[in-house]
Structure 1
Amino acid sequence: MNRSELKSFLDFKVEQYNTPEFIETDPIQIPHLFNKKEDVEISGFLTATIAWGNRKSILKNANHLMELLENSPYDFVLNHSEPDLTKLDDFVHRTFNGLDLRYFVVALKNIYTFKGGLEGIFTEYAEPKSLQYSIHQFKKEFFSLPHLSRTEKHVSDPLKNSAAKRINMFLRWMVRDDNRNVDFGLWNNLKASQLSCPLDVHSGNTARKLGLLKRRQNDAKALLELDTTLRELDPLDPVKYDFALFGLGVFEKYGQ
């Protein structure tokens, strides 16, 4: 395919997959359980944090996590006491465990109490064409309280050459307004043009087969390469192609 044909093909796939039906099998369904902005943010951030591995397991554990937070994540984060945290101790999703979850809740309270919330941090450090430096600064702010070193691995850092797939996915959810009621578009101070594609095995393999990406590793350098290509296709909403790449990879086994 030439570049024009490729764009038409990918635009068609975006239309196919960027629909409310996508929510039924995707972790984005968890923040869709809520209406309050802060509940959507916190549930989305925690769900994205554990969004690796088997999708059924992700959804099961994310729903359980919301139950542990009494289905009111913002209120729990802001008003929890030390005894409230003990019921989080048995939570586990792969290598993310109750000790990690305890710290995440405490850190989120600090961020919402003193740092202007999640949106405030990412907005403060945003660059005109990228949020990767914001992610780096967010991690510094998030781990500014005493914590176990093991917990740090659950927030990726693009400046350490990570593609930061899960947090880029979370940012897509919060920033991009797709007018399809899939992505939320809650953060009006940031633009879809600043977002990066959540690069994982599926989207990476599909991108390589389509000639959008040459680098073999799914790291920060590959993400920059893919972002550059996708911005040529749509400079205002490049991350919409995540739906096409992911849908082709997961549902159509394209490039597998």
Structure 2
Amino acid sequence: MNFEELKNFLDEKADRYNTVDFINDDPVQIPHRFSLKEDIEIAGFLAATISWGNRKAILRSADKMLDIMGNSPYDFVMNHSERDLAGIQDKSIHRTFNGEDFAYFIRQFNKIYKEYKSLENLFLVNEEESNFLHSIERFRNGFLEPDKHRSHKHVSSPYKNSSAKRIVMFLRWMVRKDKRGVDLGIWKKIDPRYLSIPLDVHTGNVSRKLGLILRTQNDWKTVEELDRMVRQFDESDPAKYDFALFGLGVTKELL
């Protein structure tokens, strides 16, 4: 396919898969359950953090965390007691994300909301920046304690060349102004043009089959390689092509 054919093909696939039906089996349904901005942020970040493996298992694990927080994430974050957190420490949550990690995140959310009022204020992108590379690192520096903790591994760093797939997905949920009702778009201070496509094995493989990327690793350099390509198709809403790549991966249309 030439450039125009490829653009039309991906536009058609993005249009097909960017529908509310997408929500039913996707972790994005977790933040969709809430209306308060802070609830959406906390529920969304926790759901994105555990988004690896079986999708049904992800949703069960997210439900478990919401149940522990009384289905009021922000209220729990701001008003929990140490006794509440002690009761979480030994719980099994989701694979390698355990109760100790969950309790650590609750403490860090509390600190962030007291100081910054919103997670959005830690992810702001400077005018001269082209994507979320530096803002993700600024978020990590604000969210994580300086002393090394086992929970740090659950917040990926693009400075270490991680694709930061789960954070990039969370950012799509929060930032993208989606008229289809999938992405929530509650953050108004950040332009969607800075968004990237969450890169994992599936989106990476589909992108290579389409000739969108050449690199064989799924790392931050490849995220930026894919950025450069899809922004030629739509510089104002590049992340919409995540739906196209996801749908092509699920249907195995390119096999």
* TM bucket, shorter chain: over 0.9
Asked if the contact 1:65–1:91 (Cα under 8 Å) also holds between the matched residues in 2, the reply is no
Shift of 1:149: 2.2
Counterpart for residue 182 of structure 1: 182
Tell me the SS of whatever aligns to 1:130.
Answer: coil
Show the counterpart of 2:158.
158
Contact 2:37 2:186 in 1 (8 A): yes
Specify the code of the residue in structure 2 equivalent to 1:252.
T
Residues matched between the structures, number: 254
- What residue number does 2:111 align with? 110
2:16 is matched with: 16
SS in 2 for 1:40: helix
Structure 1 CA distance for aligned equivalents of residues 145 and 58 of structure 2 = 27
What TM-score, normalized to structure 1? 0.95
Distance 1:159 1:128 in 2: 14
Aligned-partner Cα distance in 2 for 1:239–1:82:
40
Structure 1's unaligned 5+ residue stretches are none
Matching of residues 65-214 of structure 1 within 5 Å: 65-89=65-89, 90-123=91-124, 128-144=129-145, 149-214=149-214
Contact 1:37/1:186 (<8 A) preserved: yes
Alignment of 1:241-256 (within 5 A): 241-249=241-249, 251-254=250-253
Measured in 2, the distance between the counterparts of 1:128 and 1:185 equals: 20
Distance 2:75 2:126 in 1: 26
- Shift in Å at residue 145 of structure 1? 6.1
Identical-pair percentage:
54
Q: Which amino acid aligns with 1:29?
A: Q
How much is the aligned-residue C-alpha RMSD, in angstroms? 1.4
1:40 and 1:170 map into 2 onto residues whose CA distance is 11
- Aligned pair in 2 of structure 1 residues 105, 235: CA closer, same or farther (>3 Å)? same
Tell me if the contact between 1:68 and 1:87 (Cα under 8 Å) persists in the aligned partners. no
How far off is 1:25 after superposition?
0.8
**Correspondence for 1:57:** 57
- Kindly indicate whether residue 38 of structure 2 is the aligned counterpart of residue 38 of structure 1: yes
Determine the C-alpha separation between the residues in 2 that align with 1:8 and 1:172: 22
**d(CA) in 2 for partners of 1:196 and 1:210?**
17
Q: Would the aligned equivalents of 1:208 and 1:214 in 2 still touch at CA under 8 Å?
A: yes
Tell me the secondary structure at the aligned position of residue 78 of structure 1: helix
Deviations 1:157-191 (A, max 9, x none): 00110000000000000000111111011111001
- TM-score w.r.t. structure 2 length? 0.96
How far off is 1:3 after superposition?
Answer: 0.8
Q: Could you tell me which amino acid in structure 1 is paired with residue 5 of structure 2?
A: E
Distance in 2 (alpha carbons) for counterparts of 1:53 and 1:255? 23
Paired residue type of 1:226 = L
Partner of 1:223: 223
Amino acid at match of 1:123: L
C-alpha distance in 2, partners of 1:145/1:33?
Answer: 33
For 1:24-68, what per-residue CA distance to the aligned partner results, in whole angstroms no more than 9, with x for missing partners?
010000001111111001000000000011111101101111111
Unaligned 5+ segments in structure 2 are none
Counterparts of 2:41 and 2:93, CA distance in 1: 21
